[in-house]
């Protein structure tokens, strides 16, 4: 016989869980002991809001579900923002949380199932010792197949109940991926048959379905150009016909080419406000075909919806193009020269650096040549995100973890870096943050320094909530609620055990070279004092749209 909480931890380990992030308390201490006994790597976070972002980032960087574990009540409610983000991003995360007793609520309890449901997460509540292992394995199966966050609730009066020994396998099978309807494929081929400048745009859904190769092959067949959403960056790195990211971060020349497309087929991309750059990037005349598992379009711009797995649809379109004998258009040859000069590094700018503050473009471009090639880039949210997104290309979609993007939260960057560092210890984790997001999530800098084998922290310190300043300053609004003094992040980081330097000029990056020469071991913090009034194009272009509630 084993105690229930230990048996649940063991069942999760037996079912393939290898990493867990959490904060312990009365509701989950025994379960954590069970996870550790089962061989799971447990990382102690400093705040449950960090623990959930760690598990989410682990999923994004590896494709594997990790556990986020909390005690009941405040332990779970502390996860609210990160949990909503994980739901909206569709990250596979298993929450292992204490809950009110099976025998009835205490004065301290809330209805945790309702709480989780309000954030979009489903709950599996253990009801008796005999079925506990199977329920745990099923909850994990749901998180994997969703993929989605699932809360596995541990009633506090069952934690120490005795459970019969024995291994258990879950009964949740992956849902079959829908095959596209022939009529929809036919309609998409009709659109492509008349296209003179077809663009194939791939999002995270395309990456998750393994559609990169068939999409690239379809592109070759049609003479189409390729692009990705920010989240799927790097998917077509091997193709000379890739325009990189479509959206607010597109360099002007790439955006011009994207604007010339007359038919756009979006595979596994929700066509968010960001990808469409507030409606500015695609030609109003372009026909937009959306390929997605969803049955209804997710953006107003969609003219035709093809419901199906991105990979299956790309293959069906390729077969159809062959069967119809479609010929490749001339767009690639027409655009070749412009594509070769499309990167941000080719865009001239006036360097606004002073003796005490560095231009964020100069900083980011210099860092681009210094960052380890094998890296996972984790970013927080804020105005600064433009700089890493513009200058530091991702090697593949798992190499970018943009925390908080789906729910539009700042403050999850340090925690995301912990999840990525645990999941991909073979890569250096590079985390970029603004000073606002860094201070909001500061407790997990301690966790990062404690656990990371190789991490580089880049803080873009403009001594302000820059995004808010740039949005509301031009309206003449009082911006003082968004303006602060500089923070000595280097001093804070050193006190927590990291190596750190304050960067005011390019010369201050010499210490980074030394760290690289020593194999990038441990955590290195760059506290970069940037010129505050250089505005990234993605923001200045569509300020009015964003203020009106856009992304």
Ligand X SMILES: Cc1ncc(C[n+]2csc(CCOP(=O)(O)OP(=O)(O)O)c2C)c(N)n1
Nearer to ligand X, 94 or 448 (CB): 448
Q: Of 212-220, 232-240, 370-378, 458-466, which part binds ligand X (CB under 6 A)? A: 458-466
Nearer to ligand X, 292 or 462 (CB): 462
Nearer to ligand X, 75 or 466 (CB): 466
Residue 363 backbone phi and psi in degrees, to 5: -60, -50
Which residue of 205, 248, 308, 436 would you call a contact of ligand X, by CB under 6 A? Answer: 436
Q: How many CB atoms lie within 10 A of CB 33?
A: 16
Whole-number Å distance between alpha carbons of 19 and 66: 5
Binding of ligand X by 411 (CB under 6 A): yes
CB of 85 to ligand X, least distance (A): 10
Binding of ligand X by 435 (CB under 6 A): yes
CA quadruple 345, 349, 355, 358: dihedral positive or negative?
negative
Binding of ligand X by 465 (CB under 6 A): yes
Pairing label, strands 2-3, 198-202: unpaired
Binding of ligand X by 489 (CB under 6 A): no
- Residue 467: partners with Cβ closer than 8 Å, 6 or more residues away: 381, 382, 383, 434, 539
- Residues pairing with 31 in the sheet: none
DSSP string, 513-549: HHHHHTTT-EEEEEEEEB-TTPPPHHHHTTHHHHHTT
Which residue of 83, 467, 500, 509 would you call a contact of ligand X, by CB under 6 A? Answer: 467
Q: What strands lie across the sheet with 428-434, from one edge to the other?
A: 400-402, 375-379, 428-434, 454-461, 522-529, 499-503
Binding flags for ligand X, 345-384, as an x/- string (CB under 6 A)? ------------------------------------xxxx
Binding of ligand X by 527 (CB under 6 A): no
Whole-number Å distance between alpha carbons of 68 and 55: 6
How is residue 543 written in tokens?
Answer: 């300020």
Q: Is 108 exposed, middle or buried (0-12, 13-18, 19+ CB in 10 A)?
A: exposed
Binding of ligand X by 462 (CB under 6 A): yes
Binding of ligand X by 538 (CB under 6 A): no
Helix (H) / strand (E) element for 360: namely helix 360-368
Whole-number Å distance between alpha carbons of 175 and 331: 39
Nearer to ligand X, 240 or 544 (CB): 544
Binding of ligand X by 34 (CB under 6 A): no
Nearer to ligand X, 131 or 408 (CB): 408
Which residue of 141, 320, 388, 466 would you call a contact of ligand X, by CB under 6 A? Answer: 466
How is residue 464 written in tokens?
Answer: 């302000």
Residue nearest to ligand X (CB): 434
Cβ contact 18:55 at 8 Å: no
Q: Of 116-124, 272-280, 463-471, 510-518, which part binds ligand X (CB under 6 A)? A: 463-471
Nearer to ligand X, 15 or 379 (CB): 379
Q: Of 47-55, 117-125, 402-410, 419-427, which part binds ligand X (CB under 6 A)? A: 402-410
Which residue of 460, 489, 524, 538 would you call a contact of ligand X, by CB under 6 A? Answer: 460
CB of 456 to ligand X, least distance (A): 18
Binding of ligand X by 409 (CB under 6 A): yes
Nearer to ligand X, 129 or 388 (CB): 388
Cβ contact 517:443 at 8 Å: no
Of the candidates 220, 270, 225, the residue with the CA atom closest to the CA atom of residue 250 = 225
Nearer to ligand X, 93 or 467 (CB): 467
Helix (H) / strand (E) element for 339: namely helix 331-340
Q: Of 255-263, 286-294, 364-372, 466-474, which part binds ligand X (CB under 6 A)? A: 466-474
Q: What strands lie across the sheet with 225-228, from one edge to the other?
A: 242-245, 225-228, 198-202, 263-267, 287-292, 304-307
Q: Of 150-158, 388-396, 408-416, 509-517, which part binds ligand X (CB under 6 A)? A: 408-416
CB of 399 to ligand X, least distance (A): 22
Near ligand X in 59-78, by CB under 6 A: none
Instruction: Tell me which residues touch ligand X (CB under 6 A).
Output: 381-384, 408-411, 434-437, 460, 462, 464-468
């Amino acid at each position: 016989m084993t105690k229930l909480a230990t048996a649940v931890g063991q069942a999760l380990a037996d079912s393939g869980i290898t990493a867990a992030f959490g904060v312990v308390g009365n509701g989950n201490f025994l379960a954590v002991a069970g996870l550790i006994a089962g061989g799971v790597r447990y990382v102690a976070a400093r705040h449950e809001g960090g623990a959930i972002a760690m598990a989410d980032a682990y999923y994004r960087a590896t494709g594997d579900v990790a556990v986020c574990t909390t005690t009941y009540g405040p332990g779970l409610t502390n996860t609210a923002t990160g949990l909503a983000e994980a739901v909206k991003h569709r990250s596979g995360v298993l929450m292992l949380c204490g809950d009110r007793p099976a025998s009835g609520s205490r004065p301290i309890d809330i209805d945790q199932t309702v709480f989780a449901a309000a954030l979009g997460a489903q709950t599996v509540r253990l009801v008796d010792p005999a079925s506990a292992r199977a329920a745990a394995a099923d909850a994990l199966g749901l998180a994997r197949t969703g993929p989605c966050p699932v809360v596995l609730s541990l009633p506090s009066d069952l934690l120490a109940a005795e459970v019969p020994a024995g291994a258990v396998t879950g009964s949740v099978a992956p849902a079959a991926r829908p095959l596209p309807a022939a009529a929809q494929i036919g309609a998409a081929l009709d659109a492509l048959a008349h296209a003179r400048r077809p663009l194939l745009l791939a999002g995270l859904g395309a990456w998750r379905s393994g559609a990169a190769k068939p999409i690239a092959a379809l592109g070759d067949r049609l003479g189409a150009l390729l692009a990705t959403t920010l989240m799927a960056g790097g998917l077509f790195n091997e193709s000379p016909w890739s325009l990189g990211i479509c959206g607010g971060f597109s360099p002007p020349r790439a955006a011009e080419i994207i604007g010339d497309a007359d038919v756009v087929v979006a595979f596994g991309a929700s066509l968010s406000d960001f990808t469409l750059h507030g409606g500015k990037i695609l030609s109003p005349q372009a026909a937009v075909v959306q390929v997605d598992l969803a049955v209804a379009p997710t953006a107003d711009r969609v003219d035709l919806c093809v419901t199906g797995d991105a990979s299956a649809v790309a293959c069906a379109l390729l077969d159809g193009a062959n069967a119809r004998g479609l010929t490749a258009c001339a767009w690639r040859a027409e655009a070749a020269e412009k594509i070769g000069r499309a990167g941000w590094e080719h865009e001239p700018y006036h360097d606004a650096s002073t003796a005490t503050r560095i231009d964020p473009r100069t900083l980011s471009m210099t860092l681009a040549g210094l960052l380890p090639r094998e890296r996972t880039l984790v970013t927080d949210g804020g105005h600064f995100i433009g700089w890493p997104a513009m200058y530091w290309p991702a090697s593949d979609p798992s190499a970018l973890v943009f925390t908080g993007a789906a729910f539009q939260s700042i403050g999850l960057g340090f925690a995301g870096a912990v999840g990525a560092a645990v999941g991909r210890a073979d890569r250096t984790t590079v985390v970029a943050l603004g000073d606002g997001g860094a201070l909001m999530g500061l407790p997990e800098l301690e966790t990062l320094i404690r656990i990371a084998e190789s991490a580089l922290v880049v803080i873009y310190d403009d001594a302000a909530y820059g995004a808010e300043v740039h949005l509301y300053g031009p309206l003449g609004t009082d911006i003082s609620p968004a303006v602060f003094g500089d923070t000595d992040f280097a001093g804070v980081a050193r006190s927590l055990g990291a190596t750190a330097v304050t960067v005011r000029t390019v010369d201050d990056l010499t210490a980074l070279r030394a760290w690289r020469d020593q194999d990038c071991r441990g955590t290195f913090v760059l506290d970069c004092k940037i010129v505050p009034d250089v505005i990234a194009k993605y923001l200045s272009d569509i300020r009015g749209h964003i203020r009106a509630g856009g992304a």
